Every structure is written in C-alpha cells, then in structure tokens.
Amino acid sequence: MKKSKTKLPRDVYRVATARLISEIGDEMVFIALLFRVKDSGTWAVAALFACGALSRVLLSPVAGYLVDKFPTRSLIRVVAIVMAGASVALIPARGPALYALVVVLGIGQAIVMPAWAAYVPVLVEKELLPQAYAVIQTYRSIAIVAGAGLGGFIVGIIGSTAAFLIDASTFLAVAAITIGLVTERAARGDSTEKIKAMAGFSAIRKSQVLMALVIMLTVFNTCIGVVEVSGVFLIADILGGGPVAFGIMSLLFGLTMLIVGRLVSKYKTERSHTSIVIAAAVCASLGVLVYAASPNLWVAGLANVVIGIGMAGLNIFVMPIIVEHSNQEERGRVHAVMGAFTTAGFGIALAISSVAGGVFSARTVIASGGVACLASLVFSGPRLKRNVASVLHPAKRDMK
C-alpha cells in the first residue's frame, strides 16, 4: 500500500457527513423506541425489529426502481423531509400508529441507502472507489460509536421526545446537504426506456459474481447478528463481565472499523479487490471463532478487533466489485436487492438467537456462526476468484 496523492471530490465528504448525521439520529431513535415498547413484552420489541426490516426487504424492488428513475439529490431530499415528519409524529405515537411510522422510516431507509450507494460511483473514477467508500465507512463508524452513547444519554437523561426531535433534525440536515452536492446522478426514466422494478433481481441472478456476493454477505450479516445477540450472554454469563464490558466490546469493534476505514482512505492498495474481500472474510470468520472460545475478556476484546478488521474490509471492498459488475442504469435496484438480503439476514439472526439461545450455550451459537461464515466463503470464494477481473492500481496495470 502507498499513500494516495489524489484528492477525493468534496461531494464524497458531503455524502459521508450526511450518512454520519443520519445514522447518529437512527441510533438515538432506535434506543428511544426500544425503551418505549419494552414494557409491552418481547413480542413488542420483536415487532419493532420486524417492521423496520420487512419494509426494507419487501419494498426493495420499488425502492430500487425509484432510485434509478429519479435524480438522486432530489429523491433523497424529498424522502429525508418525509422521514423528518415521521420522526416528529413518533413523539405522541403509541400502539399501531407507532409501528406504522416505523414502517415509514423503514421505507425511507430502503430508498436512501441504495440511492447513496449508487451515487458514489458517479463522483469518482473506479480506481478511487475503495478510498471513497473507506471515507464513508470511517464516518459511519464514528456514527456507530457516538450514536449509541449519545442515544442512551439523551433518552435516559432528557427523554425520548428529544431523541425524536434530534432524529428529525438530522433528516432535515441531510436534505440541506443534498442542496450543496455538485454532481447529480441523473434520472433514467425517459420516454425511450422502461424501468423494470425487478431488474435488480435479474442482474444478480445472471451474474455469478453478484450471486456469490449476495450469498456470502447474507450469511455473514446473519452470523454477525447472532454474534451481537449471543455475545451479551457470552460476556455476562460466561466471562463474568457486565454492561460496561459489553460496551467496551462494541467500542473496540467500532473503533477498529473506524481505523481501518481511515487507513484505506489514505492509502491505495495494489491487490485486487477480490483478494482483499476473501482475506477480510477469513479474518472475520476466524475472529468469530476466537470470540466463541475466549477464555477471558481480554481475548474477547482482541477477537472483536479481528472481527472489526474483517468486516471493515468487506464493507469497503465489496462495493467496488458491485460497481464493476453492474450497469449504472440499474445499480440502484442492484443495491436495493442486496440490501434487502443482508437486512433479511439480520432478521434471521434474531430468530436463530432466540431459538438456539434457549437450547445451546452462547459459545456454541457463536461458534456455529463462525463455521457458517467459513462455509459460505468456501462456496463463494472460488466463484469470485474465477469470475472477477482483478481491479489493479493504474500504475501496476501500465507495467504489464
């Protein structure tokens, strides 16, 4: 790796800032919602997860259709304003109205997330995509680390109303940032082209690379979800830690992803994106297995660092591969479908954790997740290596 001398466009940092702001708000409102419904029982908490996840999964074709049909800046601006209204409406909401508004927020996320993902390749050359996504990953990691802490403080000290108002203000801030974006990803819905909502599924089905990525990422997202849930019992019941210890584990994971993102944003790599993705997947899988076998909190902390390195590599370097193997005209739909599968994976993780946690020990559940990650890599890795053309640094390519 060597330090990059090419500056990324300011729009990349504006996108990263928008993601940071909105995700801090998301973390806050999520904590506020959890504490609002928790007294109604576990079914109420499960329904909260289900409303957010299912809206993203089931509406992914429509969300991708909208992303590819309309100009990105205008689409995100309108959706962000609607989501701000939904956040304010959550202040008095209870019962069915609360869950309906969570669905609205889920629909908004189903649109905004693939819209940003499809927008970034318009801003930079392909050789700079890892650095651009690394910047966004760095900012997102800050949001994960800061959002949970701020959310807990605000909900606990000030109250849920403040969290909902702050969340609404973050959406309005995102809408304002879109006004300052210079580059546009233009609308695709002209009179000579019919936008097909299911094109994202078709593109993935026809591409062995995208299909292999979908399978691997869904399994990994499921397993990481299982690790997050079962990790509470591993830390508290087996290793003798408390809430502070568990918080430190999450902090180590988030900080590791932040540091990796920062390094990749500053340095170019001459290795193929595919090789890095496979290495990152191995790293994350081994980290999960070490976590499951941790004899003490120190080893568990080290395992979270290893998992963080692997997941950061996956998050950053998978995106350029998707860009290489999808068309600009349908990229929004591809990202929407891939997001739907990974979101479904997290939902599956909750179900697995609930059922398996009552039968097996936390170590066994987490270790099974690590084995499943390795199995998905054995299946997907060779397919990626065979079908992905290595994306090399220009200087190295010119030497051939």
- For 215-271, write each residue's pLDDT tens digit: 888 888 888 777 777 787 788 788 888 767 777 787 788 888 888 888 887 766 666
- What pLDDT score was predicted for residue 282? 92
Structure tokens, 88: 């304010």
Structure letter (DSSP) for residue 393: -
Q: What pTM did the predictor assign?
A: 0.74
Query: Amino acid identity of 187?
Result: A
The pLDDT-based confidence of 306 (bands split at 50, 70, 90) is very high
Cα-based distances in Å from 161 to 8, 167, 168, 170, 300 = 38, 10, 11, 14, 36
- What pLDDT score was predicted for residue 190? 45
- What pLDDT score was predicted for residue 392? 37
pLDDT 10s digits, 175-230: 999 998 888 877 665 444 445 656 666 777 777 888 888 888 888 888 877 777 77
pLDDT 10s digits, 321-361: 887 777 777 777 777 777 777 777 666 666 666 666 567 78
Which H/E stretch holds residue 3? Answer: strand 2-3
Burial of 269 (0-12, 13-18, 19+ CB in 10 A): middle
Average pLDDT over residues 62-88: 89
Lowest mean per-residue pLDDT among 77-86, 229-238, 305-314: 229-238
Lowest mean per-residue pLDDT among 148-157, 180-189, 389-398: 389-398
Cα-based distances in Å from 69 to 64, 83, 174, 336 = 8, 20, 21, 13
Query: Amino acid identity of 360?
Result: F
Reply yes or no on whether the pLDDT at 393 is more than 70.
no
Q: What does 281-327 look like in DSSP terms, one character per residue? A: HHHHHHHHHHHHT-SSHHHHHHHHHHHHHHHHHHHHHHHHHHHHTS-
Structure tokens, 156: 């606990």
Inter-residue long-range contacts of 349-352, CB under 8 Å, 24+ positions, other chains counted: 349/221, 349/222, 349/223, 349/224, 349/225, 349/226, 349/228, 349/229, 350/46, 350/49, 350/225, 350/229, 352/222, 352/226
- What pLDDT score was predicted for residue 265? 77
Residue % of the chain over a pLDDT of 90: 14
Query: Amino acid identity of 326?
Result: S
Structure letter (DSSP) for residue 271: S
Compute the C-alpha angle 13/16/18, nearest 5°: 110
Lowest mean per-residue pLDDT among 35-49, 163-177, 272-286, 374-388: 35-49
Query: Which of 292, 276, 311 is CA-nearest to residue 369?
Result: 292
Reply yes or no on whether the pLDDT at 30 is more than 80.
no
Average pLDDT over residues 367-380: 86
Q: What does 7-71 look like in DSSP terms, one character per residue? A: PPPHHHHHHHHHHHHHHHHHHHHHHHHHHHHGGG-HHHHHHHHHHHHHHHHHTHHHHHHHHHHS-
The pLDDT-based confidence of 42 (bands split at 50, 70, 90) is low
- What pLDDT score was predicted for residue 383? 75
Query: Which of 235, 243, 330 is CA-nearest to residue 291?
Result: 235
- What pLDDT score was predicted for residue 318? 83
Average pLDDT over residues 300-320: 89
Q: What does 228-252 look like in DSSP terms, one character per residue? A: HHHHHHIIIIIS---HHHHHHHHHH
Query: Which of 139, 102, 135, 101 is CA-nearest to residue 22?
Result: 139
Query: Which of 347, 287, 275, 286 is CA-nearest to residue 318?
Result: 275
The pLDDT-based confidence of 89 (bands split at 50, 70, 90) is very high
Q: How many CA atoms lie within 13 A of 218 on its CB side?
A: 18
- The neighbouring-strand residues paired with 267 are 3
pLDDT averaged over the chain? 79
- The neighbouring-strand residues paired with 350 are none
Structure letter (DSSP) for residue 360: S
Q: Which domains does the chain carry?
A: 8-127+136-183 (1.20.1250.20), 198-400 (1.20.1250.20)
253 vs 301, residue with greater confidence: 301
CB 369 within 8 A of CB 245: no
**Tokens 């849930």 sit at which residue?**
229
Query: Which of 195, 361, 342 is CA-nearest to residue 293?
Result: 361
H-only helix segments in 181-235? 199-206, 208-233
- What pLDDT score was predicted for residue 131? 85
Lowest mean per-residue pLDDT among 28-42, 75-89, 298-312, 378-392: 378-392
Lowest mean per-residue pLDDT among 21-30, 159-168, 231-240, 353-362: 353-362
- What pLDDT score was predicted for residue 322? 81
